Amino acid sequence: MTTRMAHDGHDFVLVANRLPVDVTVADDGSVSWTRAPGGLVTAMQPVMAASRGAWIGWSGAPDLGATPFADDDGIELVPVGLSAADVAGYYEGFSNDTLWPLYHDVITPPTFHRPWWEDYRRANAAFAHAAADQVAPGGTVWVHDYQLQLVPAILRRLRPDVRIGFFLHIPFPPLEIFDQLPWRTQVVEGLLGADLVGFQRAGDAANFLRVVRRLTDLETRGPLVFQRDGRTVRAQAFPISIDARGFDGLVRTAAIQDRARTLRAELGDPDVVLLGVDRLDYTKGIRHRLKAYGELLAEGRLSPERTVLVQVASPSREKVGAYQQLRDDVEILVGRINGDFATVGRAPVHYLHQSFPMDEMAALYLAADVMLVTALRDGMNLVAKEYVAARSDERGALVLSEFTGAADELTAALLVNPHDIDGMKDAIVAAATMEPREARKRMRRLRRRVLTHDVAAWSSSFLTALRSTGA
């Protein structure tokens, strides 16, 4: 990493809550950075490298100031400093204890706390000012996700010459839920500062347009919102994806295939390996999934001697009370199932509250006969697409919640309502006992979709639409 000096601006600027690097502060106070994995990083790296690009975001460490620096690909990284109080109010508070539950169908009640709103406004202004300082005249700024919904309007006031896109990675709720937000009008006005507002699903875009009609006096026509200043804002679905070809190539390596065989052996060579991979989040439906699995074992429809569920639950937002409660609930359920059905040397649930590198995840996908993606609400769920991309052998089955964005595309999966425990049980059994010919037929259809509509196609389609509108 090398420090970069100020210049006349970048033609393309990306604004996200986090930089695409992880920061490490040594005991002597020195700071080092390493490239962070993630879908957005993979999607945007070619775009950033091909343009005069800058990436604006928080370092992930509070009270850490840093000057802009270039990564190994020549992309300028511009840290936005946030204090510990900012992180508590803007990020842990308003973003993740107000907006996140509200936008996910109020599975857990959101907290409406006025000081958090002020923290959110202040942090959004900091990101917007950083973008205004970095973007060249007539340049393009792409703002990402629910933490930064006020940035487009603030940036529009600061830099009316630039083109602004916004993409929401999580669901946008129906009017009847969004209406609960005390600052609903300010959020809508913030988003309308963009020229293009992108969503994961067509239903999310429709929800947003309905909210605009309810909370403003602006004219809408189809996907367009006509602003009083003469601008036109487009709201449209752009379902995000993964680096499918890269994932497909990874699982074809001998090392990953050997590791997949080893994993099955370590699990006791069961007839059926079920797999769940989630952040430990109440939106992911882990409790519902465990309940369904426990009942299948109790009813004898799945054998505890010949079936194993591997549940990976990566740590998430551990300072938020609802997440602490979820962890307790999940661990009690896992203990109960294993207490009822385990034998010496064999447990029906292997629960892993930790994160794993991509190589290990690829081997897990390849080892699993059935992938369970049973979220109660999810903007997309890229795990479902990763599993499909990993199945170059055209084996395996995907049980997929109809309340994920992925369900719009992956229609050859076994679609379920995760609130319907009996229906989910039937789908799990159907997936576990599916005839190989039927499984191959479904997996071929799934792979055609994922390999064709990859993350490069996603970013290209959004930026092409953005270039055709705005300033």
How far apart CA 56 and CA 69 sit, in angstroms, is 11
Query: Which tokens is 325 given?
Result: 């409660």
**Would you tell me how many other CB atoms lie within 10 Å of the CB of residue 426?**
16
**Would you tell me how many other CB atoms lie within 10 Å of the CB of residue 435?**
8
Is 11 designated active site?
no
* Catalytic member of 10, 104, 144, 169: 169
Taking CA atoms, 394 is separated from 40, 84, 256, 308, 380, in Å, by 27, 48, 16, 21, 22
Alpha helices for 26-166 (secondary structure H): 39-50, 84-86, 100-103, 114-134, 151-158
The residues, any chain, with a CB within 8 Å of residue 428's CB and separated by 6 or more, are: 274, 292, 293, 296, 302, 370, 372, 399
Dihedral (CA of 83, 88, 89, 93) sign: positive
* Catalytic member of 248, 378, 453, 454: 378
Is 378 designated active site?
yes
305 phi and psi angles, rounded to 5 deg: -80, -25
* Nearest CA-CA partner of 46 in 252, 253, 249, 245: 245
What are the helix and strand counts (H, E) for the chain?
Answer: 17, 19
Q: So which residues are the catalytic ones?
A: 169, 378
